[in-house]
Structure 1
Amino acid sequence: MTKENRINCFKCIHFYITWDPNNPRGCKYFGFKTKLVPSLAVLRSSGKKCRAFVKK
């Protein structure tokens, strides 16, 4: 995936910062916390780009 095609979770309404130091980023849509940017975690687990992105 090129830099231009990458999804920026920081600009998504579903993204949030957690209080968990082990998993500081989260996605409200999918209901998970991760060390990675959530869109990258979705890509790694499913092999597809995140389709839940909604711009703030």
Structure 2
Amino acid sequence: MNDRQWMLVDGYMKTRLTGDIWRDAVWPQPSMRMSDIAYYLEIGQMHEVNE
């Protein structure tokens, strides 16, 4: 299981691994639709974080 986290900030996606700093996402693309992001969450590729 992947421990990559993501969150939306002003409409742009940020990702990080646990304990790392937030970075602009290169994958998945910040322009991805929420339905596409939901797919990756469903298969366990990323986990949403609310800070």
Fold shared per TM-score above 0.5: no
Greater fraction strand: 2
Compute the TM-score of the two structures, normalised by the length of structure 2. Answer: 0.34
Which is greater in Rg?
1
